[in-house]
Amino acid sequence: MSKSDGQRAADLRRELAQHSYRYYVLADPLVPDAEYDRLLRELQAIEAAHPELVTADSPTQRVGAAPAKELGDVEHRLPLLSLDNAFTDDEVAAFDRRIRERLARTDPIDYACEPKFDGLAVALTYEDGVLVRGATRGDGVRGEDVTQNLRTLRSVPLRLDGESVPRMLEVRGEVFMPVAGFRRMNAEAELRGEKVFVNPRNAAAGSLRQLDPRITASRPLEIYFYQIGVIEGVERPATQTGALELLRTVGLRTCPENRCVRGVEGLLQFYSSLGSRRSTLPYEIDGVVYKVDEVSLQERLGFVSRAPRFAIAHKFPADEELTTVRDVEWQVGRSGALTPVARLAPVFVGGVTVSNATLHNYDELQRKDVRVGDTVVVRRAGDVIPEVVRVLLDRRIPTAVAVSPPLRCPVCESPVIRVEGEAVTRCSGGFHCPAQRKESIRHFASRRGMDIEGLGPKVIEQLVDSGRVLSAADLYGLDMASLTSLDRMGEKSAANLLEALQKSKRTTLPRFLHAMGISGVGEASALSLATHFRSLSALMAAGTEEILAVPDIGPVIAQNIRSFFSDTQNEEIIDRLLASGIQFEEMAAPESGGVLAGKVFVITGTLDGMSREQAAQLIRANGGKVSTSVSEKTDFLIAGNEPGSKLMKAEKLSKTVLSLTLLLELIESLSSHRQHR
């Protein structure tokens, strides 16, 4: 190999990267496609003759990995959150009003506006400018590893370029299939007699999640980047508009439709303008996204639940179609709530064939006066959940049948009750009801419950239907024989499940409380209860007034907790669970003001499963102090999604940065350690 071969290969890689940047990011190509292909073939020839010259970021390596046996899991460094939706101009105006009220502002707010792509959200990580990992959104906390598939997309740079390349960058984007590419791909599939995709979104999702990257490479996928998640080594821009500009300067493609507007009038003008051109865009969108442009204002606004207060998705009107109601059936949930579901004559709505639609509850069913035999308007609410919008009364047939809630549960035939003040009717069967039993066991075994790996819905359904499992306590009496008798359950799977059951016996009090499925008690409430009462026996013996003393516990949830532990059946199940070997280190009594006494915390970004206010109350309940700014006095920074400048300052001051999960583990660990000192 001559020195000139190595230099030529390096020059070709740089030139091809520049051409890709001009083509995908700037939409201003310097050379025709044929010239790009000629340069790529020259590089391929050099690398074929001298394999030692091949680099990971070479454009020849976009399809270089063997097919995977399965897609692995990736835990996102910061969760990918969802957005609240607005469907009307009034809801957008209310969003703007809430923003200004929280900020005590009367002048118009600047907003960054972007199309809301109908594709698949992904997070890509670059280290020292090189793509090292890519994952789907998944559940927001964990996604599927699709690194090799993302490498096949020409619009994904394998190496960032420019003067401001971060040391580490986690960036969010949307993978989509352009309409023209989708139509061409389907036409080719039809000619080959193969199955065609229903819509571009399904095609994009299915293509990106292929086990063989070569299949992904053959599909016309593209990507737009829209958000910085984590950035290190370069100062985070002060605005969302600035963040998009930074992404462009390092070679990441952003949508040319993005705009910065002022006030609610600007928001609605952007929505109207883009909506009027929606059918002419080269890709599908289902709305627009508004974000407060200034990052410091985003931090002040914070988050509620799993959605930011500073952003909202303004959805386009959902697709609607007419169909007829064939029947109305009642589904039973974990709490016994009966939900009416309309069984429909199948109809194609928004790219999906719909045959079932929710009617929410009996009050809603009555309000809309839906009857069996009616012609109804069906909509995919938010383009996701099918619902019955209204009845066409002028088409009502004389034999249409009015619907009433059943007097007895359709699953277990227990009496149906309706609690005063609630909109739902409930089965009174409790754990006697197989439907409630299945849902409660599914919750008990979930990742955020007892985390029993391998105990999926189909296994639970068989266990309950066969009578082997009547409550969560019965899970720990299962053996190899009872499991291998189930459909699709071999000895290896059964052994793995038994091992997972054994492993789950070692847990924590907060996790155990959450797994019990007490109405209204989520992870944050479970931790508050465990921190306050410190033992299961103390909580079970507590009266309603004592429970009300726990931070974040209101009167309704307090009564739910008291009722749950007053039920003799629940008490028996708990006794059996403890007798089966479930154990947890109960929370120790605080000493000297609590286990976090003397420590100063700062909270930034969104926290998965808990609001910042709840986290602050939890820290204070354990003796810690909460400050609003990072300084030399800060001990810990609790960082969630989009942490902003506080994270950079904490890292600059060498302060310890924790996620919410690590904070909860820290409190439990310190409490247990104090108990055993």
**Residues 450, 459: Cα–Cα separation, whole Å:** 16
For 559, other C-beta atoms within 10 Å of its C-beta total 15
For 71-97, give one letter per residue: b (16+ CB within 10 A) or e: beebebebbbbebebbbeeeebeebbe
Instruction: Copy the structure tokens of residue 269.
Output: 């003008």
Helix (H, G, I), strand (E, B) or coil at 54: coil
Nearest C-alpha neighbor of 308 from the set 98, 551, 523, 139: 98
- Where does residue 523 fall: left (phi above 0), alpha (psi -120 to 50 degrees), or beta otherwise? alpha
Give the gyration radius of the chain's Cα atoms: 28
Please return the burial class of 1, using the count of CB atoms within 10 Å of its CB with bins 0-12, 13-18 and 19+: exposed
- The maximal CA–CA distance of the chain, rounded, in angstroms, is 89
- Is residue 531 within 8 A of residue 618, CB to CB? The reply is yes
For 7-37, give one letter per residue: b (16+ CB within 10 A) or e: eebeebbeebbebbbebbbeeeeeeeeeebe
**What's the one-letter identity of residue 172?**
R
From 3, 69, 116, 503, active-site residue: 116
378 - beta bridge partners? 321, 388
**Residues 203, 208: Cα–Cα separation, whole Å:** 9
Catalytic residue list contains 116: yes
**DSSP tag of 336:** -
**Residues 190, 195: Cα–Cα separation, whole Å:** 7
Nearest 10 degrees: CA dihedral of 71, 74, 80, 85?
30
Positions marked active-site: 116
